[in-house]
Structure 1
């Protein structure tokens, strides 16, 4: 609360205070009775009648209490208020602190840098963990037995190389050799086997018909697993697009058994693949 000094509050007993005292005496009221009716302390009523405004406080309070006293006695004191009590001046707020412009710019840049670091710390790990889920392009491999055209055709004028000695025919079930970063895997699994080749990180669970977990865990790129189908298996593959499933030498398309890139299917003992219940 801000109190005005007595130098800004003018008044004497011959003005408002005198008129109120004379009106109270004419009405036959005591100071105590007036204080009770106005719910004011007795010393405040006496200060109003004697013109001691500084005892009451700021001029806005003095004006309010004088008007309340005047209404009680039916006296008009408005003509005396401006002459005796200085009008209330608004409080002027002055700022005593000033931040230089370069300091404000540095603070703004610092806050933005913090936001960028926090956003990167959240977004980058999520993107690295999920980017393989959105890649539908299968990795391409190059056959090692393919001969480049420039190597197959001898230079003009050079003698033709002697014919190569005949080699033994390849086995019927041997496939072509391919260049790949993945470790070598068995490309022709035996009948009655389920082979899982992992081209990326994937969670795997294989359960027997009796509910026993055969194997489960997080597989890494390049891992492969082989399971016997003699008893039938129930398989769950997370990040299914990164897993190649082979059954009896044939690749199984897991797209019909996927939901949200998670494949669930059952391989019976006879090799048939059905959706998992």
Structure 2
């Protein structure tokens, strides 16, 4: 019996990534990688990895990768949309919070590719779960240093509060569910509603410069190098969100303690109410950090 071999090309695998387009356009404009890295306030290794489509060499998630590609495309005068689409074909959509997907039939000719993709997604989900579990322990330790707020002024959690949580963006809402303290456990139905439908595409990250934030505590971030930033206050209000370049400075107001995530911790200086805060002791191996920061008078 003759065995038939499926010789159909794997279109996604043969599809070129954005690196070739970026490299060719840069050379046509007479720019070097060092010049691009300086203009974008990024390490040269990041520019080189983008041009080689070597996304595994970057510690950042797909959200950060898309931010780098948008900045690079803007510098070269290119349309970023086709570049982002080619990235999604190669590595898939943003992996920070991956909703459960229904099982689908797989053609024999594509099993190898789908098995590899499925393994990568599963590993990322497991690593993120372990990461957030570790953050919950650190956050509990940080919260214990904050002076106890008057409970009589804070209403008990009501169904309206749960609805407010459900209206947050899909990524932030899922993060809050994983790190919610035991005292505020949402009902199972609420958790189900927080999960986006499989067919919905992840929303594009919109930068929040913190211009409209108000409160009695001030958090100041000074950027010596480019870094992704997320900042929430004690009321879970989003104060900062996006990619900020070296040389920028942002001051937001809100109610401490603040919850902070830095994509490149060594490139950011943190101050609260004018006092320096040393966050570098918490930096992970990939230069990211998550921490809670209370007002100095509340620290033990």
The structure with the largest strand share of the pair is 1
Larger relative contact order (CA 8 Å, sep ≥ 6): 2
The structure with the largest helix share of the pair is 2
Structure 1 and Structure 2 fold alike (TM over 0.5): no
